């Protein structure tokens, strides 16, 4: 059942993130982490609930593809490198909370929370515009090039939202040092994106023309 699978996946991820932060932190008294986890939980429930009603096939496809994993060797390697870098954010933030008592001001933490919300909202818009927005690089049946919504501005709006989310996560956890994890993640996401563009140009009719029409990849007017 789709709802059960969503609940187990979300609960499992939250349990993992909780352990990755609080075990290194050596304490449960870290309000930025609880605020972040609470915010992430609420947003996950809202987004999942919305698409359970509006587009359950989108959630079904993302769960099925995510459970099956990447089929392209290059993407499997990038994913294997990216996961430790992302989860490392929580470990580093936990260690910083333990060893550096001069924590970030609340306004910086709240700025991080705001970036998390913005990043996930961009992803929400992507899901609304593209029912085939996949968790892996693959061409699905009946898939077509999407040129509306955020795709009218940049070719990879989901990566844009994801990068904003990732950049905000260390700040939301009250960590300066964990921002260092953003650098390898940014590089890996760019490599994934460039490989994905080559794949889609070869496999998805009309994508090459879309690339010529939509110049920017991540940020309009920048790149």
Per residue, what are the HEC states of 108-147? HHHHHHHHHHHHHHHHHHHHHHCCCCCCCCCCCCCCCCCC
CA–CA separation, 52 and 58 (whole Å): 9
pLDDT of residue 141: 67
Q: Check: CATH 3.90.79.10 for 2-213?
A: no
| Closest among 158, 100, 119, 120 to 44, alpha carbons compared | 120
Structural domain spans, the chain: 2-213
pLDDT of residue 161: 96
Residues with Cβ within 8 Å of 80's Cβ and at least 6 positions away in sequence, in order, are none
pLDDT of residue 55: 81
pLDDT of residue 100: 83
pLDDT of residue 71: 65
pLDDT of residue 90: 97
pLDDT of residue 200: 86
pLDDT of residue 64: 62
pLDDT in tens, the chain (223 residues): 777 888 888 899 999 999 999 999 999 999 999 999 999 999 999 988 898 888 887 777 777 655 555 667 787 888 889 999 999 999 999 999 999 866 789 999 999 999 999 999 999 999 888 877 765 556 666 778 888 899 999 999 999 999 999 999 999 999 999 999 999 999 999 999 998 898 888 888 888 999 999 999 999 988 8
| Closest among 123, 115, 110, 108 to 44, alpha carbons compared | 123
How does DSSP assign 159-204, residue by residue?
Answer: HHHHHHHHHHHHHHTT-SGGGGGHHHHHHHHHHHHHHHHHHHHHHS
Q: Whats the size of the chain, residue-wise?
A: 223
Any idea what DSSP says for residue 69? Answer: -
**Cα dist. 110→1, 82, 162 in Å?**
36, 26, 18
pTM of the predicted structure, to 2 decimals = 0.90
pLDDT of residue 143: 77
């Amino acid at each position: 059942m789709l709802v059960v699978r969503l609940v187990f996946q979300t609960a499992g991820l939250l349990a993992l993130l909780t352990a990755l932060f609080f075990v290194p932190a050596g304490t449960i008294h870290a309000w930025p982490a609880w605020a972040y986890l609470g915010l992430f939980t609420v947003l996950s429930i809202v987004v999942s609930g919305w698409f359970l009603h509006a587009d359950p096939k989108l959630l079904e496809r993302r769960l099925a593809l995510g459970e099956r994993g990447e089929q392209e060797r290059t993407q499997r390697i990038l994913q294997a490198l990216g996961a430790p870098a992302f989860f490392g954010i929580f470990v580093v933030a936990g260690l910083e909370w333990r060893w550096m008592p001069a924590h970030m001001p609340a306004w910086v933490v709240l700025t991080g929370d705001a970036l998390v919300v913005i990043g996930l909202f961009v992803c929400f818009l992507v899901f609304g515009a593209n029912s085939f927005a996949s968790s892996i690089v693959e061409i699905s049946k009946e898939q077509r090039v999407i040129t509306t919504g955020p795709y009218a501005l940049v070719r990879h709006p989901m990566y844009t939202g994801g990068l904003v989310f990732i950049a905000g996560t260390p700040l939301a956890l009250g960590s300066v040092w964990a921002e260092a994890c953003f650098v390898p993640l940014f590089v890996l996401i760019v490599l994934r994106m460039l490989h994905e563009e080559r794949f889609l140009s070869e496999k998805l009719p009309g994508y090459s023309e879309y690339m010529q029409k939509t110049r920017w990849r991540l940020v309009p007017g920048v790149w």
